[in-house]
Amino acid sequence: MKKVLVLNLALAIFIGCSPEQNDTVVSEAVDLTQIINPDTAKAAPQFDATSNGIYKGVFASDDMLYHGVLTINLGNDAKYNAVLEYGDHQRVGFIRTNNTVSSVTNQIEFRGAGTGFSLNVSDFENPIIENAYINNQNAQARVLKETSQNKVVASLGTFVDSSDSSFTGTWDFLSTNTQVINVPLPAPAPPGSFEAVTVHVISELVVTKNGTMFTDTTMEQFTPGAGCGTTLPSGSQVPFFSGDVTILVGGIFSVEINEYAASTQTSTWLGEIATWDFNFSKIQGGVYYNSNCVAQDAGTWSWKGRSGTVTLN
């Protein structure tokens, strides 16, 4: 049976808390130059096995206007702050507000201008974010502990029901480890050329809709279909994404890639099985494709008689 973690906002402390109920207010925007820079921050090795360090993951307001990557600095450099990056590289900063000696050290409060959340690291391998809000909207977030050897990488997406546009939400991937695969190359590389590329193995799928979050922590291995010979390596694969990066092929020419492969997956939401496929290739022309590598408009999902699409942000 798949190991599925359901983060349901039926928890009274989460559902019952409106943005106005948070009693500590930061009235001015946090100076981003004084807090963690997610582009350059590295987890300090001395905190790899402790609750201190860096946490990273995804954040989504109920209206989906604030959907991005949340990076938390929990004493990694002796400071406590966080930053949310969303939209077109827009950023919102947070600072810790429960600084007194009597504060419960495993429950840390972060606040910014019109936004905030609580981070519980009683079990730092399964951190929990509660009471998140931004701009008068409740929000949900999921973060993982980063170590000096394993960065947390997030990829953002959105899903929608093909017959009901109001049935929509966020669809994100988190990764905590990497592997090397051989990616087929397009021209001007010679036919049949491959390049070894380090990709991010998908550790979790995080889905949010209308104030409820679900995560699936187990991805199934899959075998690419017969039509995937020029798109994916042969043989069994674990779901992965490369991120939007540039690789140098043979030390001669640069190729931009952004590859995703997660075929024939299942997840359990509210006791019902969902099936989904999400495959995308920038190197093949910026196309989504099905499990047999036939081009299509988007990734696909089905659940409880509904079906729809998934696209990258």
What are the sequence ranges of the domains in the chain?
Answer: 4-151, 162-204+219-312
**DSSP letter (8 states) at residue 15:** H
Which candidate, 274, 271, 273, 308, places its Cα nearest to that of 6? 271
Lowest-pLDDT range of 11-15, 128-132, 183-187, 303-307: 11-15
17-31, 44-58, 88-102: the lowest-pLDDT one: 17-31
Give dist(CA 151, CA 216) in Å, integer: 19
Q: For the segment 201-252, what is each residue's pLDDT rounded down to a tens digit?
A: 999 999 999 999 999 999 999 999 999 988 888 889 999 999 999 988 777 7
What residues contact residue 235 under an 8 Å CB cut-off, 6+ apart? 223
pLDDT at 4 over 60: no
- pTM over cut 0.85: yes
Residue 9: pLDDT band with limits 50, 70, 90: very low
Average pLDDT of the chain to the nearest whole number: 90
Q: Give the containing element (helix H, strand E) for 13.
A: helix 12-15
In the predicted model, is pLDDT for residue 197 greater than 50? Answer: yes
- 117-135 pLDDT, tens digit per residue, is 999 999 999 999 999 999 9
Confidence check: pLDDT of 13 > 60: no
CA distance 276 to 236: 18
Q: Is the dihedral of CA 243, 311, 71, 102 positive or negative?
A: negative
Q: What percentage of the chain exceeds 70 in pLDDT?
A: 90
Alpha carbon distances (Å) from 120 to 72, 80, 83, 115, 174: 12, 14, 17, 17, 19
